[in-house]
Amino acid sequence: MSNDRASTSPQQSGRLQVDAASKRFGHVAALSDVSLSVAAGEFVTILGPSGSGKTTLLKVIAGFEIADQGRVLIDQADITELDPAQRNIGMVFQNYALFPHMSVARNIAYPLAMRGTPKAEIATRVKQALDMVELGGMAERLPKQLSGGQQQRVALARATVFQPRLLLLDEPFGALDRKLREQMQIEVRRLQRRLGLTTLFITHDQEEALVMSDRIAVMDKGRVLQVGPPNEIYEAPANPFVADFIGESNIFAGVVEADGGNLLRVRLEQGPVIEVAGRADLAAHRGQRVRVMVRPERFVDLAADQNSVWANRIDGRVTDSAYIGVSDKYRVVTAEGIDVLMRLPSGPSSRRYSAGEAIAAGFHAADARLIAVQ
Amino acid sequence: MSGPGRRRGAGAGRILLRFVCGLIFAFLMLPLVVLFPISFSSGSYLRFPPPGFSLRWYARYFDDPTWIDATWRSLQVGTATTVLALLIGIPLAFGLARGRFRGRSVIENGISAPIIVPHIVISIAIYGLFSKLGLIGEWYGIAVAHTVLALPFVVIVLLSGLRDFDTSLELAARGLGAGPFEAARTVTLPILAPSVYSAAFLAFITSFDELVVAMFISGANMTLPKKMFDSIMSEIEPTVAAVSAMQIVLISALLLLGTWLRRPVTAPLVR
């Protein structure tokens, strides 16, 4: 094809590398020694609460802030101090940042015009971009005449029409309602795959991160705490912050009583002993204080399962129960006073408990994740 | 239910609001209703209602070179003041809105000093300085003095425009490939244009209508307000009414032009 400049070509996208970047604002360390690499065509999410430094990281990559230390590279080329206009990075802002005085078509043409693209080519590529985001009929509208979802698509078209080496998305779905949000998540991912575009996505919404990403980098207080695929982040959080920030969790504190092989016996502060799977990357020895996480959905109602052998057993009384549709959510307190959150599958075949009833639940040693050793 | 009751309450409120607005509007506009008929008076005195109608006071204005001279001088001074005030005010407003430097808030609060300090005090100060510099009686001297008076209005209007301006638009432009100058030309200034027009209009009016400073430093080369003042002092005849009527028409035209310039434009061409 002769017009392949305008069509999709996955190899155009770049490999991003952030190398030990640090940035201070006065006394606040917005980024401390952050390293991250994103492979060409990969979709990586930066997940963190507000103030975790994720927006600063994005600005350092886009060139709106310069890192005090460290480097930013795209395809091995050092862009740490390059002018933002020279970086060839597409960005979708939180509020879209569409130019209010320009029509949709002019907005999308802007990056091409700034690169001196010939008029005829601009026209074709703007039209292609509009078709891509299914806004063919909206070319002459002003941004304020569009719905939030449509504005979002214009922003996306504008950020990709010049075939950037990297796409940055800064919490782009924050202003959309839930349904539209889920639809846009799917659309953005589809578009990103089709264009083979290396993408860095910023969000504080852990569910969104789990749904969309190839890999997630969890940030807090200017540091990257863990990088990994969504299931790894969820199943095997590296530390208490990640365990607590992603999904619901029970976190128990205790002391290691025995550390034989890859199984630990931990005596919880409240008395009972549980079996916990050991971690190759986090050694815990007899006498050390540890913290252990169990996801609420890992508990199994022993009344419904008499056959299996359970390493750990919780006996308690339901204090609160809630029906969530896919599951029943219970707050259970044991005789020793341990507070446990459980999600048991709901349905015609499973029993429902109400507040005050006794309940017995089991969980495997492998479902108890060691998250901290002191 | 509270719904209909609340709606009725809102209706009463709206009627009251309209009534008060109408009253204020009438208070502001009635002088014009008096002024325009007097300007077409056939009588020789400022009197309302006029004894008959004629164009003699308009003719008198156009036939008298001192009136025409004064008018041209005022237009010249007003235009120069507008240009000077914008040239100083735009960078100043940008600096105050975007800059982080010591003394920023001092400058920002001090900027309205020329509005607060009585014009007569400013006039005396400027007279002292200008007489040393030989600027008395020169039209550009008046323009410089008027720029001092117009600057606060320009800066205040532009500052509020800049504070409302979403800086992520500028960042977006930069990230999409525009240099700093290009981003300002294609994004920041077009979006701020309404504020710039308002500021320009205020600067022009400040100068065009200014009497006190002009009395001190215009000397024999009178501006229009000075000429009007002299005219009232010496003879109470309707020429002043005719001049005022024309001034009002001119300013209204400028206001309409401003409204037209501020209309939402569909995309100035990018390059």
ipTM: 0.80
Among A41-45, A234-238, A255-259, B241-245, the range with the most confident prediction by mean pLDDT is: A41-45
In a domain, B155, yes or no: yes
Single-letter residue type at A281: D
Residues B26 and B71 in one domain: no
Q: What pLDDT, on a 0 to 100 scale, did the predictor assign at position A68?
A: 94
In a domain, B193, yes or no: yes
pLDDT of B2 strictly over 60 = no
* Confidence grade of residue A7 (pLDDT, cut at 50, 70, 90): very low
pLDDT of A329 strictly over 50 = yes
Q: What's the CA gap between A184 and A151, in Å, rounded? A: 12
Residues B12 and B134 in one domain: no
In a domain, B231, yes or no: yes
Average pLDDT of the residues in A275-283 = 87
Listed in sequence order, the residues at least 6 apart from B31 whose beta carbon sits closer than 8 Å to its beta carbon are none
Chain B contact set for A99 (CB, 8 A) = 169, 172-173, 187, 191
CA-nearest residue to B174 within chain A is A85
Chain A contact set for B270 (CB, 8 A) = 102, 106, 109-110, 113-114
Average pLDDT of the residues in A124-142 = 91
Percent of chain B with pLDDT over 70: 93
Helix pair B239-261, B224-234: axis angle to 10 deg: 160
Is A110–B174 a contact, with Cβ atoms under 8 angstroms apart?
A: no
Residues B126 and B206 in one domain: yes
Q: Are A33 and A22 in contact (CB under 8 A)?
A: yes
CA-nearest residue to A100 within chain B is B191
Average pLDDT of the residues in A315-323 = 91
The least confident of A54-63, A105-114, A271-280 is: A271-280
CA-nearest residue to A168 within chain B is B175
* Confidence grade of residue B99 (pLDDT, cut at 50, 70, 90): confident
Tell me how close the Cα of A220 comes to any Cα of chain B, in angstroms.
24
Residues B18 and B74 in one domain: no
Of residues B169 and A349, more confidence is placed in B169
In a domain, B100, yes or no: yes
Residues B122 and B255 in one domain: yes
Give the pLDDT confidence of A193-234 residue by residue, as tens digits: 998 999 999 999 998 999 999 999 999 999 999 999 999 999
* Confidence grade of residue A316 (pLDDT, cut at 50, 70, 90): very high
Residues B81 and B213 in one domain: yes
Give the pLDDT confidence of B18-63 residue by residue, as tens digits: 999 999 999 998 888 888 888 888 888 777 788 888 888 899 899 9
Residues B81 and B25 in one domain: no
Looking at every residue in chain B, the average pLDDT score rounds to 87
Closest CB to B175: pick one of A84, A113, A140.
Answer: A84
Neighbours of B203 (CB within 10 A): 27
Residues B131 and B253 in one domain: yes
In a domain, B271, yes or no: no
Omega prior to A49 cis, within 30 of 0: no
Q: What's the CA gap between A222 and A206, in Å, rounded? A: 18
For residue A315, give the 3-state DSSP assignment.
strand
Give the pLDDT confidence of A14-33 residue by residue, as tens digits: 899 999 999 999 888 999 99
Q: What's the CA gap between A312 and A33, in Å, rounded? A: 40
CA-nearest residue to A86 within chain B is B177
In a domain, B53, yes or no: no
In a domain, B40, yes or no: no
B262 touches chain A (CB under 8 A): no
Residues B87 and B134 in one domain: yes
Average pLDDT of the residues in A247-268 = 89
Tokens standing for A146? 């569009």
The least confident of A125-134, A200-209, A340-349 is: A340-349
pLDDT of A343 strictly over 80 = yes
Average pLDDT of the residues in B164-180 = 93
Single-letter residue type at B73: R
Query: Based on the structure, what is the number of domains in chain B?
Result: 2
Nearest to B64 by CA among B262, B256, B230: B230
Neighbours of B75 (CB within 10 A): 16
Give the pLDDT confidence of B230-258 residue by residue, as tens digits: 888 887 778 888 999 999 899 889 888 87
Chain A contact set for B261 (CB, 8 A) = none
Residues B9 and B134 in one domain: no
Half-sphere exposure of B130 (CA within 13 A, CB side): 23
Residues B133 and B227 in one domain: yes
Tell me how close the Cα of B55 comes to any Cα of chain A, in angstroms.
46
Looking at every residue in chain A, the average pLDDT score rounds to 89
pLDDT of B190 strictly over 50 = yes
In a domain, B19, yes or no: yes
Closest CB to A142: pick one of B175, B190, B264.
Answer: B264
pTM of the model: 0.78
Is A103–B175 a contact, with Cβ atoms under 8 angstroms apart?
A: no
Roughly how many angstroms between the first and final C-alpha of chain A, as a whole number?
61
pLDDT of A10 strictly over 90 = no
Tokens standing for A258? 């025995």
pLDDT of A3 strictly over 80 = no
Q: What's the CA gap between A47 and A224, in Å, rounded? A: 9
Of residues B204 and A311, more confidence is placed in B204
Q: Which domain holds residue B132?
A: 65-261
The β-bridge relationship of strands A199-203 and A43-47 is parallel
Q: What's the CA gap between A139 and A131, in Å, rounded? A: 10
Average pLDDT of the residues in A43-55 = 93
What CATH number is attached to the domain comprising B190?
Answer: 1.10.3720.10
Q: Are A362 and A342 in contact (CB under 8 A)?
A: no
Look-up of token digits 């050390």: A288
Residues B166 and B103 in one domain: yes
